[in-house]
Chain A
Amino acid sequence: MSEALKSKIEVPVMADVFATGKKPEYLFWVGCAGAFDNRYMKVAKAFAHILNKLGIDYAVLGKEESCTGDPARRAGNEMLYQMQAMTNIELFNMYEIKKIITICPHCFNILKNEYPDLGGNYEVINYLEFLAEMLKSGKLKIDKSKSQDKKVTYHDPCYLGRANDIYEAPRYIINALGLKNNEMNRSKSFALCCGAGGAQMFKDCEPGDKEVFIERTEDALKTNPDVIATACPFCMTMLTDGLKYKNKEEEIKNLDIAELIAEAMV
């Protein structure tokens, strides 16, 4: 882990920034997993660290952030989803937010594709596309020597891949880091789900022969990786569980793309 991530980092909070009369260019939408999931909190931190390093004009909502409503909606509770969404939209409009960067693909999908139906129109940017752009423009600099000789396999999250056709940005980033991405047999639009989408994350799965996350972990293990790269908090939970199930958590790391960048960034 990069030294900077071991201690507290400074993150601007929307209410404070707004009080000084400034309007940040971007809202960094952290998401509930970024806020509360012990493992994924580190990803949120790594991404904020990158934003700080790049000098991006952003802020987070902090205590004012609330669930987008995605798990409720996909569990059939349209009423709860719309209440969450409208409350969030009111907040966004109060802060005159124009651009939103997300790390969680589920938040990304719902903010980008579904909030407009309720009057919430923003430019919603997924962090992978944002980071790929920063690498391409040369603003984000990488020391490839920091990440050499690691075999990576990237797992496409359904809500970035099939749901929103984002396949190239993560591969571009992995390549730019000087890492080799060994594709799983099922990848890109053929990728197998980790098993957590559609609110499955929060419930036991139905009876069957096998858990989906084990099937997917086996896909990843076949590439003989040092790192399974993910870009979604739910995928991370599932595949990390899969590595534990296979007793591989010592040899193989499950890292988010943002963490890979934070490690190699100069």
Chain B
Amino acid sequence: MSQIVFSIVLAITFIVFAYSAIKIYKLFRLTKPAYPVRDFGKRIGRTIVNAFFQERIFRNRIAGFMHALVFWGFLAILVGSLEMVIDGLAGTERVLSFLGVFYDAIMAIGDVSAYVIALFIVIFIIRRTMLNIKRLHGKELSKKNHADALLALTMIFLLMVTLAGMNIFYLAGHNEIVGIYPISAFIAPMFAGISIETIHLLHEINWWGHILLIFIFANILPYSKHFHIFMSIPNVFFSRLTPLGKMTNMDSITKEVKMMMNPETAFAAAPEGEATPARFGILDAEDFTWKNYIDSLACTQCGRCTSVCPANITGKALSPRKMIIDIRRRMKEKGPHLVKDKNYSDNKALIRGLISVEEIWACTTCNACAKECPLNIDHPTFILDLRRYLVMEESAAPCELNAIFSNIENNGAPWQYSHEDRLNWVE
């Protein structure tokens, strides 16, 4: 009976998740190319260092350490969750126990992690709600964002409580134990006086509670900033391998410039398959690259980027975190319409809608945000693409910049000096 119920619940979980995944997949199909994904060896190496060893997160020692323990604990607990799914479908009990010592280790790490993570989550909730930590606030974070964060923390807390409950009542209800549960083993004897039926019932409640919470959480995630859990590792894997200082080349411009510089080629047949893009740079959702969008899905709004941004630190309107949140917001708002009709317009745009021109021009391209992001989110590339739109489609650069453009064009220097004076420094 319980196997049938479990199968149905699991099927529903997958169907709902697939529905969300297809919606997101369709949005990805709207995106533009960013760069070719090659060098899989290097990408795997980067993923191991950045994701599994949590390299970047340790730039912030205390919060980073806590995050790393939560992450590693999660990995161990994930094995247990997988076992629960198999048990639930097959009617077995602790089916992975044949793994022996490895099983003992995973269960032991999972058990300790459950308590550690529960404790950390309490600290995180206190930190977020009572301590005034600048990074966790900001004008770009709406009430909904804060509620989203607290919902995720609460879900994780309940997951850990039910996991601990499962372990405790498993120990209290069995004479022969598989796996090692260091902390639960201390707590289990406290329930010695309770009838074995009650113990079994409590185990069932925690078991079902835990797995149902996982199923519910998994289906909330695609609509939460905590989608991070699914998207962060892929985001690291797909992040660019080039130095942070490198800007992406606009090949469409290269073609035009080559034609200008070598007019004969202008009469040659245009290469096939490469239509001139509808727009230079990024104005709105239809211009996002796949990297912009995956960045926005992976972002969990931690604010490390904004906390190191020189413009933000000195009170300018720019917040790199906001830029990334705005990508997701705008895609959510306009994307589904674009899926149905690629020419859809709501007479709004990302630029001057969610993102002001002032924010775009405040960036110093210092790459502090990109360096700080534990997930390799690439804020500067996005901001520079917004500038490319403003300048090349609207000629809307600040007037001082228009002056340097004409200086560079006329004298080959941003300042108004003559070529002839280029060697004056030797005097």
CA distance A84 to B411 in the complex (A): 11
CA distance A225 to B313 in the complex (A): 24
Name B367's closest neighbour in chain A (CB-CB).
A162
Q: What is the CB-to-nearest-CB distance from A45 to chain B, in angstroms, rounded to a whole number?
A: 5
> Does B417 contact A82, Cβ atoms closer than 8 Å?
no
Contact with B along A236-260 (1 / 0, CB 8 A): 0000000000000000000000000
> Does B245 contact A72, Cβ atoms closer than 8 Å?
no
> Does A11 contact B423, Cβ atoms closer than 8 Å?
yes
Contacts of A32 in B (CB 8 A): 412-415
- Known A-B contacts A72-B405, A208-B314; the reply to A158 vs B422 at CB < 8 A is no
> Does A215 contact B422, Cβ atoms closer than 8 Å?
no
Contacts of A56 in B (CB 8 A): none
Contacts of B415 in A (CB 8 A): 32, 36-37
CA distance A66 to B358 in the complex (A): 30
Instruction: Pick the contact of B254: A41, A69, A82, A212 (CB < 8 A).
Output: A82
CA distance A80 to B388 in the complex (A): 11
CA distance A43 to B401 in the complex (A): 26
CA distance A218 to B6 in the complex (A): 62
> Does B401 contact A203, Cβ atoms closer than 8 Å?
yes
- Known A-B contacts A86-B257, A86-B258; the reply to A162 vs B405 at CB < 8 A is no
Contacts of B414 in A (CB 8 A): 32, 67, 71, 201-202
Instruction: Pick the contact of B358: A9, A83, A206 (CB < 8 A).
Output: A206
Chain A 176-214 interface residues, beta-carbon cutoff 8 Å to B:
189-190, 192-193, 195-212
> Does B280 contact A78, Cβ atoms closer than 8 Å?
yes
Q: Which of B17-25, B66-74, B208-216, B315-323 contacts A (4 or more CB under 8 A)?
A: B315-323
Contacts of B261 in A (CB 8 A): 83, 86-87
Contact with A along B219-262 (1 / 0, CB 8 A): 00000000000000000000000111111011001101110110
> Does A199 contact B401, Cβ atoms closer than 8 Å?
yes
> Does B423 contact A78, Cβ atoms closer than 8 Å?
no
Cβ of B362 within 8 Å of any chain A Cβ, yes or no, is yes
Q: What is the CB-to-nearest-CB distance from B201 to chain A, in angstroms, rounded to a whole number?
A: 54
Give the interface centre of B384, B404, B417, B426 by most chain A CB atoms within 10 Å.
B426
Chain B 104-133 interface residues, beta-carbon cutoff 8 Å to A:
none
CA distance A253 to B100 in the complex (A): 67
> Does A80 contact B409, Cβ atoms closer than 8 Å?
yes
Contacts of A36 in B (CB 8 A): 413, 415, 417, 421-422, 424
Cβ of B427 within 8 Å of any chain A Cβ, yes or no, is yes
Cβ of B391 within 8 Å of any chain A Cβ, yes or no, is yes
- Known A-B contacts A162-B368, A202-B401; the reply to A114 vs B247 at CB < 8 A is yes
Cβ of A151 within 8 Å of any chain B Cβ, yes or no, is no
Count of chain A residues near B, Cβ 8 A: 73
Name A42's closest neighbour in chain B (CB-CB).
B425
> Does B257 contact A79, Cβ atoms closer than 8 Å?
yes
> Does A190 contact B308, Cβ atoms closer than 8 Å?
yes
Contacts of B420 in A (CB 8 A): 63
Q: What is the CB-to-nearest-CB distance from B295 to chain A, in angstroms, rounded to a whole number?
A: 18
CA distance A65 to B409 in the complex (A): 13
Contacts of A117 in B (CB 8 A): 249, 254
Contacts of A80 in B (CB 8 A): 405, 408-409
> Does B364 contact A45, Cβ atoms closer than 8 Å?
no
> Does B426 contact A45, Cβ atoms closer than 8 Å?
yes
CA distance A196 to B380 in the complex (A): 15
Name A77's closest neighbour in chain B (CB-CB).
B391
Chain A 71-121 interface residues, beta-carbon cutoff 8 Å to B:
71-80, 82-84, 86-87, 109, 113-114, 117-118
Contacts of B280 in A (CB 8 A): 78
- Known A-B contacts A30-B422, A199-B404; the reply to A78 vs B392 at CB < 8 A is yes
Cβ of B366 within 8 Å of any chain A Cβ, yes or no, is yes
Q: What is the CB-to-nearest-CB distance from B256 to chain A, in angstroms, rounded to a whole number?
A: 7
CA distance A208 to B310 in the complex (A): 11
> Does A198 contact B388, Cβ atoms closer than 8 Å?
no
> Does B405 contact A77, Cβ atoms closer than 8 Å?
yes
Name B387's closest neighbour in chain A (CB-CB).
A76
Cβ of B400 within 8 Å of any chain A Cβ, yes or no, is yes
Name A79's closest neighbour in chain B (CB-CB).
B253
15 pairs, A vs B, C-beta closer than 8 Å: A32-B412, A35-B424, A75-B391, A76-B390, A76-B392, A76-B397, A77-B392, A114-B247, A117-B254, A118-B254, A205-B316, A206-B311, A206-B316, A208-B314, A212-B311
> Which residues from chain B sit less than 8 Å from chain A, CB to CB?
59, 242-247, 249-250, 253-254, 256-258, 260-261, 280-281, 308, 310-311, 313-318, 358, 361-368, 370-371, 380, 384, 387-392, 397-398, 400-401, 403-405, 408-409, 412-415, 417, 419-427
- Beyond A162-B368, A215-B310, 14 additional contacts (C-beta under 8 Å) are A36-B417, A60-B423, A63-B419, A63-B422, A67-B408, A67-B414, A78-B253, A114-B246, A158-B364, A162-B244, A163-B243, A164-B244, A189-B371, A205-B362
6 smallest CB-CB distances across A and B, nearest first, come from A163-B245, A209-B315, A76-B387, A198-B365, A66-B412, A193-B366
